[in-house]
Amino acid sequence: MLNRRLRQIIAVLAFAAYWFLSGIASSHALVARDRVETRDWRQFPAIVEIDADATVVAVGDVHGDYERLAHLLKKAGLIDEENADPSDLKWRGGKTILICTGDLIDKGKHSLDVIQCFRTLERKAADEGGKTIVTMGNHEAEFLANPDDDEKAEKFLAELEKQDLDPADVATGKDKKGIGAFLRRLPFAARVNDWFFAHACGVDGRTLRTLKAALADSVDEEGFGADILLAKRGLLEARLKPIPWWERKGDKPKESESRLRGHADALGIKHFVMGHQPGKAHFSDDSRRKAGELIQKFDGLIFLIDVGMSSAIDKSPGAALRIERHGRRQTATVIRADGTEELIWKVTE
């Protein structure tokens, strides 16, 4: 009798241990799901660095609106047919560097066309001596970290379903169309000469070298949900509200500008270009940004280029920033969807 009772107890304990250990294994699998294999940081660096005497055209968050993106790229002189299939686009930008600061996906209904557009232009621009760079946005990072979040990525997930693509396969870079592989290798920022482009620019006072190392280490360890990317002041998540990420409550105008300039000095750059926030903003010098407006602050220290161009947001029909060098002179011009242009900053060094 005693032996039978003992065997029953052992069996119950073994069953409990099995489910306990299975639970631990499952939780570790969830944490590691977006880290199927270690990224080759030499081939796909955390921050792309370029020194080139070339025109740069930068666009912010597209959010699934291929039609408006293509129209804007045509107005910027980078393609010549906005109604073309995104796989058949022709590059007309010569040696121009095109940069998008992320958030290709979600909200709009044509995220896959937007992704294909940039994949096509990556190849076509390179053939003509130009370059196309897409830096990762918080929406891409959040999808890669958690492809089951059907509330935030509802439209994107619906597109994947129509194409018979498993979101988990895409997030782990295993899908047959290479969409996930493209998203997983996106850099988190780009430095072009003394300009720094990132989705939200939350650099936390790091040098460029320490930022690159921290990004690689954090993503290898934590995946795309790493705090360095998606924490409140992360590189892809830092915000303009309730106050801009570089400000502190009670700042005087010179204090907030000095703090932002300190971040730039640490990186060894002179200009920030960020997307992520298309809405109204209020700065410590009591100046304001209107929703959907592409502006610069502090004599070209920072440019805000997310104008809410997707029709799903519709704060503006779109705008791009063109940065040009003319000898020792530099200019920054807004290119609007209606074809009009406005010089918003210039300097003679």
pLDDT, the chain, mean = 90
- As a whole number of angstroms, the distance between CA 13 and CA 17 comes to 6
- As a whole number of angstroms, the distance between CA 118 and CA 284 comes to 37
Q: Which of 150, 119, 183, 85 is nearest to 158 (CA)?
A: 150
Within 8 A by CB and 6+ apart from 190, the residues are: 47, 48, 49, 50, 99, 133, 135, 196, 197, 198
Residue 22 scores a pLDDT above 70: no
Highest CATH level, class, for 39-348? alpha beta
Q: What is the pLDDT of residue 30?
A: 37
Percent with pLDDT over 90 in the chain: 83
Residue 48 scores a pLDDT above 60: yes
Mean of the pLDDT values across residues 1-27? 44
Residue 17: C-alpha distances to residues 1, 7, 280 (Å): 24, 15, 54
Q: What is the pLDDT of residue 3?
A: 52
The answer to whether 191 and 45 have CB atoms below 8 angstroms apart is no
Q: What is the pLDDT of residue 5?
A: 53
- As a whole number of angstroms, the distance between CA 269 and CA 113 comes to 33
Residue 150 scores a pLDDT above 80: no
* Residue in the structure block whose two tokens are 């650099």: 203
Residue 18 scores a pLDDT above 80: no
Longest pairwise C-alpha distance within the chain:
96
The answer to whether 117 and 70 have CB atoms below 8 angstroms apart is yes
Q: What is the pLDDT of residue 71?
A: 97
Show the tokens assigned to 45: 């660096």
Mean of the pLDDT values across residues 264-286? 96
Q: Which of 238, 208, 236 is nearest to 224 (CA)?
A: 236
Residue 14 scores a pLDDT above 70: no
Buried (b) or exposed (e) across 99-121, using 16+ Cβ within 10 A? bbbbbbbbbbbbbbbbbbbbbbb
Q: Which of 345, 182, 201 is nearest to 273 (CA)?
A: 201
Q: What is the pLDDT of residue 259?
A: 96
Condensed to tens digits (0 to 9), the pLDDT of residues 101-136 reads 999 999 999 999 999 999 999 999 999 999 999 999
Show the tokens assigned to 115: 């992704």
Residue 328 scores a pLDDT above 90: no
The answer to whether 176 and 128 have CB atoms below 8 angstroms apart is no
Condensed to tens digits (0 to 9), the pLDDT of residues 152-166 reads 899 999 999 999 999
- As a whole number of angstroms, the distance between CA 309 and CA 236 comes to 19
Show the tokens assigned to 56: 């740069």
Burial of residue 93 (number of CB atoms within 10 Å: 0-12, 13-18, 19+): buried
Condensed to tens digits (0 to 9), the pLDDT of residues 205-247 reads 999 999 999 999 999 999 999 999 999 999 999 999 999 999 9
| Residue 269: HSE in the Cβ half-sphere, 13 Å Cα cutoff | 30
